[in-house]
Amino acid sequence: MEITQTTVIINKNGGEDNRLKAFATIEIDNCFKIRDLKVIKGNNRLFVSMPSKQIRPGDYREIVSPLNQETRNLVEKAVLEEYGKEISKIKSLVEDLDL
């Protein structure tokens, strides 16, 4: 399995107090697309949350789930790398504006 495309959209309201930092879409093997992954700021690190829906108040279930840790790690690595690139672009733009 190969993640052939990753798109990350930074959450404009994702300041320090907001744990939701970005939304992501991935394509697997150029034939399967998964939307609505989320980049979340956890207590110790950023992590990727899979698309989910609310079953009842306070109870959410993943709609798409990796079946093993290796696949989850592959998805998380791809999304967080793209997130890092997007953050770097934003920082570069801000630095350019502060001439």
For 3-97, give the CATH class.
alpha beta
Q: What is the pLDDT, as a whole number, of residue 98?
A: 66
Determine the pLDDT at residue 14.
Answer: 66
User: Which residues does 40 contact at the CB level (< 8 Å), separation at least 6?
Assistant: 19, 20, 21, 46, 47, 48, 49
Residue-level pLDDT at 74: 97
Q: How do residues 80-92 score in pLDDT, each as one tens digit?
A: 999 999 999 988 8
In tens, the pLDDT along 19-56 reads 999 999 999 999 999 999 999 999 999 999 999 999 99
